[in-house]
Amino acid sequence: MHTSGPNNVFLGFGAGTFTMSGSYNTGIGQGALLSNTTGSFNTTEGRSALRLNTTGAYNSAVGYRALTANTIGSDNTGHGCNALNLNINGNDNTALGYGALRTGTAASSNPAVGSYALTSNITENNNPATVWGTLRDDTTGRENTAAGWAALFANTTGRGNTAIGQLAMSANTTANFNPAIGGGALQANTGGAAGPRLGRFRAGPWSGRGGWRDGCALQHTMRGRVKRRGAGRPPLESRRGPRRSGGVAPPPLYPTAVVC
In a domain? residue 214? yes
In a domain? residue 231? yes
DSSP code, position 212: B
In a domain? residue 126? no
Domain residues for 220?
A: 208-259
Least confident piece of the model among 8-12, 48-52, 111-115, 132-136: 132-136
Q: Convert 229-250 to b/e letters by CB count within 10 Å (16 or more is b).
A: beeeeebeeeeeeeeeeeeeee
Q: How many domains does the chain have?
A: 1
In a domain? residue 234? yes
Q: Is 22 helix (H, G, I), strand (E, B) or coil?
A: coil
Give yes or no for residue 69 having a pLDDT over 80: yes
Q: Contact at 8 Å (CB) between 220 and 255?
A: yes
Give yes or no for residue 147 having a pLDDT over 70: yes
pLDDT tens digits, 78-93? 999 999 999 999 999 9
In a domain? residue 244? yes
Predicted confidence at residue 254, as pLDDT, reads: 36
In a domain? residue 215? yes
In a domain? residue 253? yes
Q: What is the pTM of this model?
A: 0.67
Mean per-residue pLDDT over the chain, rounded: 75
pLDDT tens digits, 153-203? 888 888 888 888 888 888 888 888 888 888 888 777 777 654 543 332 233
Query: Of 5-9, 11-15, 157-161, which one has max mean pLDDT?
Result: 11-15
Burial of 225 (0-12, 13-18, 19+ CB in 10 A): exposed
In a domain? residue 228? yes
Between 159 and 253, the more confident residue is 159
Predicted confidence at residue 210, as pLDDT, reads: 36
Give yes or no for residue 132 having a pLDDT over 90: no
Predicted confidence at residue 177, as pLDDT, reads: 87
Predicted confidence at residue 17, as pLDDT, reads: 84
